């Protein structure tokens, strides 16, 4: 972190209002920069008439040249950066610990970057290990050294033994496993290779919502990864579960997660298969499930991919509704921020209609509370989880 005097960059686009409202990103083409700052340097953003309106840090390479830490009107006194980072790390942890019982849930997101007002850095906690991710070298340089700050904020409140940087993971590395708890349910996570750091903790509250409905039901967990939804459903008394994921290591981990929770293995099936192929075969066989969960990877990682993504979501929702019993529950998710809520719901209705079925919308949820969303930053509102009954 660079406590020295900030460099000045000038806004050439009229973004002062959105920055003051709390939008944390400034793209390179919105700025007039005379002397290019170092990566991670503290910068002060001025309007064209020379008024300072915000402070942030510089990224040399990302199209997001500045991530904003603080903004203010005329005469605003910017905080000392060192204390600002310490206070926000602390406040984010306070908000988690206020609501989580660590004896039941010890895998959670301590810091959600922009959503917790520390842009470009995320911390996930997996039992005694903190996994840190920086969005680019600018963020890494700005927060450096981060580990002592993290440890200071955790102090006696979190039992942190190791701090890992997610970007230093190597494909051939040995497994680095931890056993964690999510609402009392056990999971083994591989911090060296697991997707999204190890567990999709953003779906924690949605797994509870499915489990609440699962007693006595048959459950199909599509794009199931390490079995998150299925394990929770089985613990809650599901009659049977089927977990489908194309990644063999994820399916093996799902099997282990069932074992870890002492669940009856004769009621759990695991399929290392492509979801579309699995569904096509299931439809041919006439298989049906009472609850179907569909949680695919992002079909629209960028804006340009949205039309293609719409077709893929519709096809998926068509096939998923065809294997749902009449009156059964279809839970469909999307983790693409480019694909908006209305568009996503429309893709479910269109897909289900193509199957000649109907879908009675019940509720739309987002990510768990430890992934906060800023009202001024819709880009951060990525996760959608819709529940509805198929007729
Ligand atoms: C968003 S994650 C699912 C997270 C999971 N629902 C959970 O709660 O842990 C998406 C998963 O889809 C899998 N996947 C991607 N494409 C697939 C495909 N065509 N068929 C089956 N699985 C696929 C990935 O391996 C990944 O595990």
Domain edges within the chain: 7-71, 81-168, 179-390
With bands split at pLDDT 50, 70 and 90, how would you rate the model's confidence at 34?
A: confident
Residue 173's pLDDT is: 82
Residue 156's pLDDT is: 85
d(CA 296, CA 13): 37
pLDDT in tens, 91-126: 999 999 999 999 999 999 999 999 999 999 999 999
Q: Give the whole-number percent of the chain exceeding pLDDT 90.
A: 86
Q: Is 274 in the pocket of ligand 1 (CB under 6 A)?
A: yes
Among 208, 209, 225, say which to mutate for ligand 1: greatest number of ligand atoms within 8 Å of CB. Answer: 225
Q: Is 182 in the pocket of ligand 1 (CB under 6 A)?
A: no
**Looking up tokens 């893929």, which residue turns up?**
312
Instruction: Sort strands 162-165 and 129-134 into parallel, antiparallel or unpaired.
Output: parallel
Residue 3's pLDDT is: 54
Mean pLDDT along residues 10-14: 90
**What residues are paired with 68 via a beta bridge?**
56
Q: What is the dihedral of CA 37, 38, 43, 48, to 10 degrees?
A: 20
d(CA 268, CA 264): 7
Residue 1's pLDDT is: 65
Mean pLDDT along residues 259-278: 98
pLDDT in tens, 52-85: 999 999 999 999 999 999 998 777 888 899 999 9
CATH of domain 179-390: 3.40.50.150
Cβ–Cβ under 8 Å, residues 236 and 214 = yes
Residue 332's pLDDT is: 98
Q: Is 225 in the pocket of ligand 1 (CB under 6 A)?
A: yes
d(CA 133, CA 195): 13
d(CA 124, CA 386): 25
Closest by Cα among 318, 320, 274, 319 to 297 = 274
More confident residue, 33 or 267: 267
Query: Two tokens at 57?
Result: 């840090």
Strand order in the sheet with 121-126: 107-112, 121-126, 129-134, 162-165
Query: Two tokens at 85?
Result: 């980072």
**One fold for 7-71 and 179-390:** no
Burial bucket for residue 268 (CB in 10 Å: 0-12, 13-18, 19+): buried
Topology at the third CATH level for domain 81-168: Transcription Regulator spoIIAA (3.30.750)
pLDDT at 370 over 90: yes
Question: If you take atom 19 of ligand 1, which residue's CA is the nearest one?
Answer: 274
- Helices 204-211 and 228-235: angle between axes, nearest 10 degrees: 40
Cβ–Cβ under 8 Å, residues 308 and 344 = no
d(CA 25, CA 115): 12
Residue 309's pLDDT is: 94
With bands split at pLDDT 50, 70 and 90, how would you rate the model's confidence at 140?
A: very high
With bands split at pLDDT 50, 70 and 90, how would you rate the model's confidence at 197?
A: low
Q: What are phi and psi of 184, to 5 degrees?
A: 85, -5
Query: Two tokens at 361?
Result: 């919308």
pLDDT at 246 over 60: yes
Complete DSSP assignment for 249-283: HHHHHHHHHHHHTT--GGGEEEE-S-HHHHHHHHH
What are the Cα distances from residue 143, in Å, to 47, 120, 125?
26, 9, 18
Residue 198's pLDDT is: 79
With bands split at pLDDT 50, 70 and 90, how would you rate the model's confidence at 2?
A: low
213 DSSP assignment: T
Burial bucket for residue 50 (CB in 10 Å: 0-12, 13-18, 19+): exposed
Across the chain, mean pLDDT equals 95
74 DSSP assignment: T
pLDDT at 382 over 80: yes
With bands split at pLDDT 50, 70 and 90, how would you rate the model's confidence at 296?
A: very high
**The pTM is what?**
0.95
Q: In degrees, to the nearest 5, what angle opens at C-alpha 343 toward C-alphas 315 and 223?
A: 45
Q: What are phi and psi of 321, to 5 degrees?
A: -70, -30
d(CA 107, CA 191): 12
Q: In degrees, to the nearest 5, what angle opens at C-alpha 335 toward C-alphas 110 and 240?
A: 95
Among 198, 223, 282, say which to mutate for ligand 1: greatest number of ligand atoms within 8 Å of CB. Answer: 223
Among 107, 279, 297, say which to mutate for ligand 1: greatest number of ligand atoms within 8 Å of CB. Answer: 297
With bands split at pLDDT 50, 70 and 90, how would you rate the model's confidence at 4?
A: low
295 C-alpha to ligand 1 centroid (Å): 7
CATH of domain 7-71: 2.30.130.10
244 C-alpha to ligand 1 centroid (Å): 8
372 C-alpha to ligand 1 centroid (Å): 23
Mean pLDDT along residues 335-358: 96
Question: If you take atom 6 of ligand 1, which residue's CA is the nearest one?
Answer: 224
Query: Two tokens at 118?
Result: 């520390």
45 DSSP assignment: E
């Amino acid at each position: 972190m660079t406590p020295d005097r900030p460099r000045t960059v000038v806004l050439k686009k009229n973004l002062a209002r959105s920055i003051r409202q709390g939008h944390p990103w400034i793209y390179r083409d919105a700025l007039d920069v005379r002397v290019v700052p170092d990566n991670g340097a503290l910068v002060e953003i001025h309007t064209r008439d020379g008024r300072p309106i915000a402070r942030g840090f510089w990224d040399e390479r990302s199209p997001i040249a500045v991530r904003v830490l603080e903004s203010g009107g005329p005469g605003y006194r910017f905080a000392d950066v060192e204390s600002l980072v310490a206070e926000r790390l602390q406040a984010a942890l306070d908000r988690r610990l206020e609501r989580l019982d660590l004896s039941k849930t010890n895998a959670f997101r301590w810091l959600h970057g922009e959503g917790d007002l520390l842009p470009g850095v995320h911390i996930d906690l997996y039992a005694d290990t903190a996994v840190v991710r920086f969005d680019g070298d600018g963020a890494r340089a700005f927060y450096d050294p981060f580990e002592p700050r993290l440890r200071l904020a955790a102090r006696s409140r979190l039992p942190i033994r190791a701090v890992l940087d997610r970007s230093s993971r190597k494909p051939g590395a040995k497994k680095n496993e931890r056993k964690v708890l999510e609402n009392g349910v056990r999971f083994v996570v591989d911090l060296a290779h697991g997707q999204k750091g190890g567990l999709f903790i953003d779906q924690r509250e949605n797994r509870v919502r499915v489990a609440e409905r699962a007693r006595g039901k048959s459950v199909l967990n599509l794009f199931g990864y390490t079995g998150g939804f299925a394990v929770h459903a089985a613990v809650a008394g599901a009659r049977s579960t089927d977990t489908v994921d194309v990644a063999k290591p994820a399916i093996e981990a799902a099997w282990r997660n069932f074992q870890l929770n002492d669940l009856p293995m004769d009621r759990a099936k695991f399929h290392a298969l492509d979801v579309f192929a699995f569904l096509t075969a299931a439809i041919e066989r006439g298989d049906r499930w009472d609850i179907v969960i569909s949680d695919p990877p992002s079909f629209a990682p960028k804006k340009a991919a949205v039309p293609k993504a719409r077709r893929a979501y519709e096809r998926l929702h068509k096939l998923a509704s065809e294997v749902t019993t009449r009156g059964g529950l279809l839970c469909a998710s999307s983790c693409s921020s480019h694909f908006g809520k209305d568009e996503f719901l429309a893709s479910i209705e269109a897909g289900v209609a193509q199957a000649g079925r109907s879908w009675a919308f019940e509720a739309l949820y987002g990510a768990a509370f430890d992934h906060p969303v800023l009202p001024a930053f819709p880009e951060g509102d990525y996760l959608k989880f819709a529940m509805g009954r198929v007729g």
